[in-house]
Chains A and B, each alone.
Chain A
Amino acid sequence: MYPGRFEYFAPATLDEALSTLDRLGDEAKVLAGGQSLIPLMKLRFAAPAALVDINRIGGLDRLSEEDGELRIGALVRHKTCERSELLRGRLGVLGDAAPQISDPIVRNMGTVGGSLAHADPQGDWGSALLAADARVVAERSSGRREIPLEEFFHGPFTTALEPDEVITEVRVPDPGQKAAGTYLKLERKVGDFATVGVAVQVSFSNGSVSRAGIALTGVGPKNARATQAEQALTGAELDDDAIREAARLAAEDAEPRSDLRGSADYKRNVVRVFTERGLRTAARNA
């Protein structure tokens, strides 16, 4: 309930934030929404010597479409995503994921960038954005780089970010004119982490699947794509048989663990069921 002591920095610019991180190295953690970090600090599972609060930095909370890409600033709150038209329709996987993250009050503060940096295998954004083929823009004093999300998650709570890097933006490519997706989440109650989450995002061209994104939450050491399932769909018509086969493969792609939320077999079955339902929805809505 009572965190340990830390030094607090609230830089006004990104440059200031980055040079502070340079100086402090892995002694410091970045504070964005705080809805994952602060609970850990209160339980003293995390005890950073310093916090760099980036909430005062302007320009990190823009949500827009530019050059055909969807650009989500790192400080865009989940709530903003929940409300935005830009995340509906062809990028339905994102618009459907946003309202299911945690609870409505946490969504007011929590950020997309913070969620990705936290890299909880039970986090929702990671899967939704993986399915949408997103890239992360990371900046440090010495420059910036773009990291495809597949390469971003290394393991539970571990990412490709260096201690002196900050996510500034997430970029989602145009899914094409005919595209649809959704996010299905099984949770025991609102605010719980996912027992199983399945993100589905499909692009079509000439009646068949040009790109399939299927990513899984809570059934592996990190948010990950169901690559066998995706490959089976690419180039195929999204009919009943294809859907069932993809769902079967997605269940195989999953690496669930048995725990209080259910056995590994149970979770695999939910992956299968959700993949099927998600693909049917995509087929209907595209």
Chain B
Amino acid sequence: MATQPEIRGIGHSVERKEDARLIRGKGNFVDDVKLPGMLHLEVLRSPFAHARIRSIDTSAAAALPGVVAVVTGELMAEHGLAWMPTLSGDTQAVLATDKVRFQGQEVAAVVAEDPYTAKDALELIAVDYEPLPALTSPQAALASDAPVIRDDKEGQDSNHIYHWESGDREATERAFGDADRVVSLDTHYPRCHPAPLECCGCVADVNPATGKATIYMTSQAPHAHRTLFAMVAGLPEHQIRIISPDIGGGFGNKVPIYPGYVVATAASLLLGKPVKWAEDRSGNLISTGFARDYHMHGELALKGDRMVALRVKMQSDNGAFFADAQPSKLRAGLFGIVTGSYDIPAAHVEADGAYTNKAPGGVAYRCSFRVTEASYLIERLVQTAAYEVGVDPAEFRLRNFIAPEQFPYRSATGFDYDSGDYAAAMQLALDKLGYEDLRREQAEAREQGRLLGIGLASFTEVVGAGKGKDYDIVGLRMFDSAELRVHPTGKAVLKLGVRHQGQGHETTFAQIVAEELGIPPEDVDVQEGDTDHTPYGLGTYASRSTPTAGAATAVISRKLRDKARELAAHKLEAAPEDLEWEPGRFFVKGSPDRGATIQELSLAAYSDLPDGMEPGLEGVHYYDPPNMTYPFGTYAVVVELDRGTGAWKVLRVVAVDDCGVRINPMIVEGQIMGGLTEGYGIAAMELITFDEEGNCIGSNFMDYLLPTSWETPKFELDQTVTPSPHHPLGAKGVGESATVGSPAAYVNAVIDALAHAGVRNIEMPLTSDKVWAALAEAGLAE
């Protein structure tokens, strides 16, 4: 039931409530937190990628006036805190003890009265390193004679972390045997970084009098982090309060637990004072959760223009510690979605993870748990197949899409797609683009020596983790929660187990309550992030908030509405079944004047109840999703190449997204445009790389390049709406769709400009020199 404009529930572009403080510069970010007596922590990082630590001399640093403490791995070890568990069941060094295993690894820390002094003291710490050879690729790390990086782990005699498979190997082999053509692609999805504008940090305040630890933390998952802190630090969980205040962007960077948090908390515990750790950008880029670094070899088996099988072999570069932030049962995340939007009957995927002398991580940067990698691979393979088979890339996709009548669709790797209409989204994109005219324009331009390219990507996402039986993080099932209380005067407070970092939850979730209960969003206060005051949830990442906490909000709102019906029946002296609901009001069937507003009923919950009814109007719901949701869409990018320099310019981006029902269209579009920009950055310029010694290149913003307003293209957005059949609101989640789906569109566009000359692949990021090399090889360079 659509709400009136003045109530503004689902479908309204309600302006954001959180803006009020942010546009005034009155946000409360972690680095804004100032507590009496607060000290500052700075981390000393290893200059070597792999080295034994022979000794650490902290005496000069400790003697510097203003320095309160110097912490080393040895000190942490005395408290059992030199190592900590990761979200993938491995261990990670908090402060190095025996060896350093990646450049930038945390080696020691200084606590001082101010950060300038702390930094001065870092320079006085003398570490005696014995450098060791560094392994900077999974291939090198998995070679038989490679030195073992994780010699701290008993029984670890190689750099192999895991082997994972999905799909049906035999059926796939048979289909390949039967195929009349095989198209393959070897590609490396390079290491990149979420690089939110706010770095990570915390203020740890262990109160010596009460023993309570309050930790302000850049956390996308405060409850999970609290539980992990309890397990790691041995502090009783009910004595830990994690407050995730305003977060300046997360994108998955603020899901892992970093050594800085642990050292700051330990320091606060030992010193009895609040300790702030505010990471700098160099620390953020060199050590915190990077993204991707997946080496993929994909093959498509074709019969005519139909794809009949897909097989993929991957190697994952996980860095020195296996710290992927993903559901525990999924070593390669949700990569299995790699058959994408296509009806491919047989598929087999295998992945091997390797330790390398690099920072730990891999699952981050709006990847939906490795869906970015999978989506990129299939869309690049499909594009290649279209060229090889000689069919227009749009047409090829249309011929292979899963058809609407095939939903719910079980994929060859076991995913149950809830709903989709891929052809409709594609057709809308093509119409907006004027695709046929563009193809003509491309051909004409080619005659004049100009190279235009049109790139497509028709992605299917899988988000909303997830059903507890299948999805857990370190054993904590991935349900989520909503607690709703309506006050006597009809105002409400909604508390959630998720935690936004700019996605607009304070507005969007209020709109859900508005939809279900008719209380205007202005009258619904949405609270997240404080573990003392919100119900347990697994946090915000992997586009899961709307699918899980959004569903929980709808369910609990409906429960309260059911109670409101009983209250209305009592108040109006009618039978509950004789009442009708319109947004914000129950009325007696046939006598619309006889009614009661939700505000009146809220008051009644405290003042005028039927006998036997529990007072109050509140409740909490923990929602265990029955399935994932599958947003999808088609992105189209048009580019022109400079034949003299290889530079390419994006002329148009058309993005058609289908995320089911859109709660706040304005916010949804904002998420999409942000993702299209990240996709552009990843395709064009973002890269963390290493030299043979393991030195990290890309650990500051001069080397790790982010698109500015000047390079970033304009976006033309549109939508189709295919609701999720199992979600209470029909909504699917959208936060990551564009980051997942768009890199292939940009890359396909550049390739498309050169495909006529036989070019099939250029590795990301498509910097001008690489494009120029392809031009030169194709005989097209100026």
Is B truly associated with A?
Answer: yes
Bound-state CA distance A258–B767 (Å) is 14
In the complex, chain B residues whose CB is within 8 Å of the CB of A103: 708
* A260 and B689 contact, Cβ closer than 8 Å, known pairs A4-B120, A273-B644: yes
Q: Are B685 and A188 in contact (CB under 8 A)?
A: yes
Select B645's contact among A5, A260, A263, A273, beta carbons within 8 Å: A273
In the complex, chain A residues whose CB is within 8 Å of the CB of B645: 186, 270, 273-274
In the complex, chain B residues whose CB is within 8 Å of the CB of A186: 645, 647, 768
| Count of inter-chain pairs, beta carbons less than 8 A | 63
Using CB atoms, name the residue of chain B closest to A272: B644
* A189 and B769 contact, Cβ closer than 8 Å, known pairs A1-B119, A260-B697: no
Minimal beta-carbon separation of A36 from chain B (angstroms)? 12
Bound-state CA distance A269–B773 (Å) is 11
Cβ of B707 within 8 Å of any chain A Cβ, yes or no, is yes
Bound-state CA distance A274–B644 (Å) is 8
Q: Chain A, 249-267, contact with B by CB distance < 8 Å: what is the 0/1 string?
A: 0000000000011110010
Q: Are A191 and B708 in contact (CB under 8 A)?
A: yes
Bound-state CA distance A51–B706 (Å) is 32
Q: Are A195 and B768 in contact (CB under 8 A)?
A: yes
CB contact list, B673-720 vs A, under 8 A? 685, 687, 689, 697, 702-703, 705-708, 710-711
Q: Are A269 and B647 in contact (CB under 8 A)?
A: no
Minimal beta-carbon separation of B258 from chain A (angstroms)? 17
Cβ of A44 within 8 Å of any chain B Cβ, yes or no, is yes
Select B769's contact among A262, A274, A277, beta carbons within 8 Å: A262
Bound-state CA distance A189–B767 (Å) is 10
Bound-state CA distance A4–B772 (Å) is 43
Cβ of A190 within 8 Å of any chain B Cβ, yes or no, is yes
Cβ of B164 within 8 Å of any chain A Cβ, yes or no, is no
Q: Are A189 and B644 in contact (CB under 8 A)?
A: no
In the complex, chain A residues whose CB is within 8 Å of the CB of B781: 269
Bound-state CA distance A261–B781 (Å) is 18
Binding site secondary structure of chain A: loop
Minimal beta-carbon separation of B353 from chain A (angstroms)? 27
Select B768's contact among A188, A191, A274, beta carbons within 8 Å: A188
Q: Are A2 and B115 in contact (CB under 8 A)?
A: yes
Q: Chain A, 92-117, contact with B by CB distance < 8 Å: what is the 0/1 string?
A: 00000000000100000000000000
* A262 and B768 contact, Cβ closer than 8 Å, known pairs A190-B708, A273-B644: yes
Q: Are B767 and A188 in contact (CB under 8 A)?
A: yes
In the complex, chain A residues whose CB is within 8 Å of the CB of B123: 44
Minimal beta-carbon separation of A105 from chain B (angstroms)? 11
Bound-state CA distance A277–B120 (Å) is 50
In the complex, chain A residues whose CB is within 8 Å of the CB of B768: 186, 188, 195, 262
Bound-state CA distance A260–B770 (Å) is 10
In the complex, chain A residues whose CB is within 8 Å of the CB of B708: 103, 189-191
Cβ of B582 within 8 Å of any chain A Cβ, yes or no, is no
Q: Chain A, 177-200, contact with B by CB distance < 8 Å: what is the 0/1 string?
A: 000000000101111110100000
Minimal beta-carbon separation of A99 from chain B (angstroms)? 11
Bound-state CA distance A44–B116 (Å) is 12
In the complex, chain A residues whose CB is within 8 Å of the CB of B152: none
Q: Chain B, 546-573, contact with A by CB distance < 8 Å: what is the 0/1 string?
A: 0000000000000000000000000000
Minimal beta-carbon separation of A107 from chain B (angstroms)? 13
Using CB atoms, name the residue of chain B closest to A262: B769
Cβ of B280 within 8 Å of any chain A Cβ, yes or no, is yes
Bound-state CA distance A5–B117 (Å) is 10
In the complex, chain B residues whose CB is within 8 Å of the CB of A277: 644
* A189 and B697 contact, Cβ closer than 8 Å, known pairs A1-B119, A266-B769, A273-B644: no
* A266 and B773 contact, Cβ closer than 8 Å, known pairs A2-B119, A189-B705, A261-B767: yes
Minimal beta-carbon separation of B229 from chain A (angstroms)? 27
Cβ of B782 within 8 Å of any chain A Cβ, yes or no, is yes
Q: Are A263 and B769 in contact (CB under 8 A)?
A: yes
Q: Are B116 and A2 in contact (CB under 8 A)?
A: yes
Bound-state CA distance A263–B776 (Å) is 13
Bound-state CA distance A186–B642 (Å) is 11
Bound-state CA distance A277–B644 (Å) is 10
In the complex, chain A residues whose CB is within 8 Å of the CB of B689: 260
In the complex, chain B residues whose CB is within 8 Å of the CB of A188: 685, 705, 767-768
Bound-state CA distance A109–B646 (Å) is 32
CB contact list, A128-154 vs B, under 8 A? none
Q: Chain B, 754-782, contact with A by CB distance < 8 Å: what is the 0/1 string?
A: 00000000000001110011000000011
Bound-state CA distance A248–B205 (Å) is 66
Q: Are A262 and B767 in contact (CB under 8 A)?
A: yes
Bound-state CA distance A195–B769 (Å) is 10
Bound-state CA distance A28–B402 (Å) is 70
In the complex, chain B residues whose CB is within 8 Å of the CB of A262: 767-769, 772
Q: Are B119 and A189 in contact (CB under 8 A)?
A: no
In the complex, chain A residues whose CB is within 8 Å of the CB of B705: 188-189, 192
Using CB atoms, name the residue of chain B closest to A5: B120
Q: Are B116 and A189 in contact (CB under 8 A)?
A: no
In the complex, chain B residues whose CB is within 8 Å of the CB of A191: 708
Q: Can you sample 10 A-B contacts with CB below 8 Å? A: A2-B115, A44-B123, A188-B768, A189-B685, A189-B705, A190-B708, A193-B702, A260-B697, A263-B769, A269-B644
- Beyond contacts A5-B120, A260-B703, A262-B768: 6 other A-B pairs, Cβ-Cβ < 8 A, are A1-B280, A186-B645, A260-B697, A263-B769, A266-B646, A273-B645
Closest 3 CB pairs of A and B: A262-B769, A273-B644, A2-B119
